[in-house]
Copies of this chain bind each other. A is one copy, B any other.
Amino acid sequence: MDINKENWLIKEEGFDKSRIEDNGNRFLLGNGYMGIRGTLSEYGKEQLVAVNLAGIYDKVGDSWREPLNAPNFLYSKPEFNNTELSVLSINPKDHKVILDFYEGILYRESVFCVDGVNVRVRSERFPDMDNVHLIWEKCVIDADSAGRLTLNAGIDYDIWDINGPHFVRFEKEIGHDGSVSIKGFTQKDTEFVHVKEALVSVSLLNRPLAVKDDEKEKLLLHHGIFDIKAGETVSFYRVASVYTSKDTDAEPAISGEAISPEIYMEKKEAHKKWWALKWDNSAVKIEGDEEAERAVNYSLYHLHSIAPRHRDSMSIPARGLSGQTYKGAVFWDTEMFILDFFLYTEPRVARTLIKYRIDTLKGALDKAKSYGYKGAFYAWESQEGGFDACSDYNVTDVFTKRPMRTFFKDKQVHISSAIVFGLKKYFDVTGDMSLLSEGAFETVMECAIFYSELLVKKVYGDCYEIRDVIGPDEYHERVNNNFYTNRMAKMVFTEALRLIDKLDTIEDARKEEIIKKYNVKALKEIFEDASRKLYIPAPGESGVIPQFDGYFDLEDVSVDTVRGRLLDPKEYWGGAYGVASHTQVIKQADVVTCLSLFKDEYSSEVLNKNYDYYEKRTEHGSSLSACMYSLLACYCDRPDEAYPFFMKSASADIKGGGKQWAGLVYIGGSHPASEGGAYMNVLHGFAGINVKDGKLVASPKLPKNIKKLEFRIIFKGIRYLVTVEKEKAEFKPC
């Protein structure tokens, strides 16, 4: 495949202060271990600089628990003739930031005019994809007249946090070889984040740099003064390592010898090669639609950047590694929206994501128990160990400023079905059943047990129901027999039954263990009974499936009418008294999501009627909505209607501009679920590729903008080149 690399650049020309926050997400770098917001070296906490760390959390006071940001080891604010070279103090004469997302490198070039002298600052940076603790940076400065250049580069430990400060004390170390180190400890004195940095400067006079520790400004800086001539360059190269108390591998040794121009070049080449390999496997070529191609692959760039390849059991938070929004917690987004990309391009990552859920089963068992249930009730907002970070009060009433009791944690019971669905997809797409003996069996059993516990029936009736839940549409709380929830619960039962039938494939010792733990025969009877009798809302005369019991009795008004009833633009649409709560207006795809997943069980007429009915009534107030509508539109044979939903999903982060603040709380960040959803739209929707009866099938539905699709996927260990043109799809092993 040929890649038009020019199309794979995200460029920002000129400096626009209002875009600082958004650009932090757009220019994000990451390697699964850390996410580095796309901010400039001279920025500080006010500009939302963050080195966001995966899987390590801290809680301060009564605030919610959130992931840690490390001290910023990419800080640098050079001076020319004692004038700071910073876009925050001088409007640059020329300014460019470029993310080459094919290479995975962020470039910056600014020209500052200082007393008539043009001073140019060029830098590039990239995280190490192999040794995920490391990040590399090069910076070159020159001027068109002679002058005095002061280097100030090092670690800024005045850290931006939403609910911080997380570090109660710092230990610093200054090496004699150009290295500095700062170790921040949280309240639990055993938890720390350790940042080490080595920096080497290159100039005509290779003079050593001093180190300054400005405790007031919280800056630990390499410092040097260079009197340069016109055209003469001063460069510095640095490598930084981050290491936390949660890490189990060895901490990299960072000394002056760790960095040199040669080492930097070598690492850069390796980095480019790493990405080229990734793209070879995963790039999506879209002929006839450069914008779509760019948006999709930019989405994939993000997914690659936050994939936890350094671990074999870790997941992806809802806002990736772009910051502390949503508590750095893992939602159903992972299994329902993000997983497919990795399943089809890098199954090892998919395995890691799933292993995270298997390994947090204990947390899910505990959560179920706390509600009086047996089985596994997974965390709605999962942090490490499966701890549910979701609080009882998630929304603030704009009128009273009081927290509103929400039931996301208590009632969104569909979360456990997402875990099973992820596992099922993993088995179906990879053919790898090894997880079965590594906890997957227990995970599915416990989820099925949980749903069997949820089942109620009228004592003198026959139908099994699931009452008092919240479905994907969060605007309607505490409903009965949500179509999505019930159908997914049924899927859990059938998957549990399928796995019980596979018990014999597990090696004897493990099998013995399982049989000792579970009365498999009794469970089998229960799951068979449950899956047979569980009530699944069916299409009525109109062909439309009620989202839950009584949905059609709600006021039937348009989204605009409901919006028009807002007294405050920021008020919550849902909850008990929200403008949408007692109407048929919904936040996001709900019935539509379920129909996308189980399309083969419904006639085209039913799919179309439900698409039409619900589309009109959906606010799309969640980034999880558009891609499901796009999928269903394809399954309805209406790919041109699918296209704008797909583009909305694919462009969520490349466009940016979404809501960044809720009051004083930063809620911006990247949208991995939209990114993954966009990939699903290409794969399942436009290319029409799905697994059926253990085989890949394709039923392409190309919108008119798209002439041809080309990408590689891996199915059951074999890599295929997929080419889709018109109504035809070709798979070639490659």
The answer to whether A530 has its CB under 8 Å from any CB of chain B is yes
Closest B residue to A459 using CB positions: B455
Residues in B whose Cβ lies below 8 Å from that of A465: 456
How many angstroms between the C-alpha atoms of A86 and B491 in the bound complex?
79
The answer to whether A661 has its CB under 8 Å from any CB of chain B is no
Among A183-191, A354-362, A511-519, A576-584, the stretch that binds chain B is A576-584
The answer to whether A458 has its CB under 8 Å from any CB of chain B is yes
Q: Is there an interface contact between B405 and A567, defined as CB atoms closer than 8 Å?
A: no
Q: Is there an interface contact between A397 and B577, defined as CB atoms closer than 8 Å?
A: yes
CB distance from A373 to the nearest CB of B (A): 9
Closest B residue to A405 using CB positions: B582
Interface residues in A384-424 (C-beta closer than 8 Å to B): 392, 397, 399-400, 402, 404-405
Q: Is there an interface contact between A400 and B402, defined as CB atoms closer than 8 Å?
A: no
Q: Is there an interface contact between A460 and B453, defined as CB atoms closer than 8 Å?
A: yes
Closest B residue to A373 using CB positions: B458
Known: A576-B575, A577-B576. A452 touches B456 (CB 8 A): no
Q: Is there an interface contact between A404 and B457, defined as CB atoms closer than 8 Å?
A: no
Interface residues in A525-544 (C-beta closer than 8 Å to B): 526, 529-530, 533
Q: Is there an interface contact between B526 and A460, defined as CB atoms closer than 8 Å?
A: yes
Closest B residue to A393 using CB positions: B582
Number of copies: 2
Residues in B whose Cβ lies below 8 Å from that of A468: 467-468
Residues in B whose Cβ lies below 8 Å from that of A405: 576-577, 581-582
Closest B residue to A526 using CB positions: B460
| Contact residue among B399, B400, B457, B459 (Cβ-Cβ distance under 8 Å from A452) | B459
The answer to whether A478 has its CB under 8 Å from any CB of chain B is yes
The answer to whether A464 has its CB under 8 Å from any CB of chain B is yes
Q: Is there an interface contact between B460 and A458, defined as CB atoms closer than 8 Å?
A: no
Closest B residue to A576 using CB positions: B576
How many angstroms between the C-alpha atoms of A393 and B473 in the bound complex?
23
Residues 566-593 of chain A: 1 if any B CB is under 8 Å from the residue's CB, otherwise 0? 0100000001110001100000000000
How many angstroms between the C-alpha atoms of A452 and B575 in the bound complex?
31
How many A residues have CB within 8 A of the partner chain?
Answer: 30
Closest B residue to A457 using CB positions: B459
Q: Is there an interface contact between B404 and A577, defined as CB atoms closer than 8 Å?
A: yes
Residues in B whose Cβ lies below 8 Å from that of A577: 397, 400, 402, 404-405, 575-577
Residues in B whose Cβ lies below 8 Å from that of A459: 452, 455-457, 464, 529-530, 533
Residues in B whose Cβ lies below 8 Å from that of A581: 405
How many angstroms between the C-alpha atoms of A468 and B465 in the bound complex?
14
Q: Is there an interface contact between B464 and A453, defined as CB atoms closer than 8 Å?
A: no
How many angstroms between the C-alpha atoms of A309 and B452 in the bound complex?
56
How many angstroms between the C-alpha atoms of A37 and B413 in the bound complex?
56
| Contact residue among B392, B397, B456, B575 (Cβ-Cβ distance under 8 Å from A458) | B456
Closest B residue to A449 using CB positions: B460
Q: Is there an interface contact between B452 and A460, defined as CB atoms closer than 8 Å?
A: yes
CB distance from A405 to the nearest CB of B (A): 6
Residues in B whose Cβ lies below 8 Å from that of A530: 459
How many angstroms between the C-alpha atoms of A59 and B577 in the bound complex?
26
CB distance from A681 to the nearest CB of B (A): 37
Residues in B whose Cβ lies below 8 Å from that of A399: 399-400
Residues in B whose Cβ lies below 8 Å from that of A478: 478
CB distance from A10 to the nearest CB of B (A): 43
CB distance from A469 to the nearest CB of B (A): 12
How many angstroms between the C-alpha atoms of A397 and B567 in the bound complex?
13
Residues in B whose Cβ lies below 8 Å from that of A456: 456-459, 465, 467
CB distance from A605 to the nearest CB of B (A): 27
Residues 428-464 of chain A: 1 if any B CB is under 8 Å from the residue's CB, otherwise 0? 0000000000000000000000001101111110001
Residues in B whose Cβ lies below 8 Å from that of A460: 452-453, 455, 526
How many angstroms between the C-alpha atoms of A456 and B535 in the bound complex?
15
How many angstroms between the C-alpha atoms of A305 and B464 in the bound complex?
52
How many angstroms between the C-alpha atoms of A567 and B452 in the bound complex?
44
Q: Is there an interface contact between B567 and A400, defined as CB atoms closer than 8 Å?
A: yes
Closest B residue to A404 using CB positions: B577
Residues in B whose Cβ lies below 8 Å from that of A533: 459
How many angstroms between the C-alpha atoms of A458 and B460 in the bound complex?
12
Residues in B whose Cβ lies below 8 Å from that of A400: 399, 567, 577
Residues in B whose Cβ lies below 8 Å from that of A575: 576-577
Closest B residue to A575 using CB positions: B576
CB distance from A566 to the nearest CB of B (A): 10
CB distance from A184 to the nearest CB of B (A): 35
Residues in B whose Cβ lies below 8 Å from that of A457: 456-457, 459
Listed residue (A397, A400, A464, A526) with the most chain B CB atoms within 10 angstroms of its CB: A400
Residues 156-172 of chain A: 1 if any B CB is under 8 Å from the residue's CB, otherwise 0? 00000000000000000
CB distance from A342 to the nearest CB of B (A): 36
How many angstroms between the C-alpha atoms of A402 and B568 in the bound complex?
13
CB distance from A394 to the nearest CB of B (A): 13
Residues in B whose Cβ lies below 8 Å from that of A467: 456, 467-468
Residues 503-523 of chain A: 1 if any B CB is under 8 Å from the residue's CB, otherwise 0? 000000000000000000000
Interface residues in A466-511 (C-beta closer than 8 Å to B): 467-468, 478
Residues 550-579 of chain A: 1 if any B CB is under 8 Å from the residue's CB, otherwise 0? 000000000000000001000000011100
Closest B residue to A399 using CB positions: B399
Residues in B whose Cβ lies below 8 Å from that of A526: 460
CB distance from A188 to the nearest CB of B (A): 27
Q: Is there an interface contact between B452 and A455, defined as CB atoms closer than 8 Å?
A: no
Listed residue (A402, A405, A459) with the most chain B CB atoms within 10 angstroms of its CB: A459
Listed residue (A460, A467, A575, A582) with the most chain B CB atoms within 10 angstroms of its CB: A460
CB distance from A711 to the nearest CB of B (A): 45
How many angstroms between the C-alpha atoms of A478 and B567 in the bound complex?
27
Residues 258-288 of chain A: 1 if any B CB is under 8 Å from the residue's CB, otherwise 0? 0000000000000000000000000000000
Closest B residue to A571 using CB positions: B400
How many angstroms between the C-alpha atoms of A453 and B458 in the bound complex?
7
Q: Pick 17 A–B contacts, CB within 8 A, sort by A.
A: A397-B577, A399-B400, A400-B567, A404-B577, A405-B576, A405-B581, A452-B460, A453-B458, A456-B467, A457-B459, A459-B530, A459-B533, A460-B526, A467-B468, A478-B478, A575-B576, A576-B576
Known A405-B581, A457-B459; 14 more pairs at CB < 8 Å: A400-B577, A404-B577, A405-B577, A405-B582, A453-B458, A455-B460, A456-B457, A456-B458, A456-B467, A457-B457, A460-B526, A467-B467, A478-B478, A577-B577
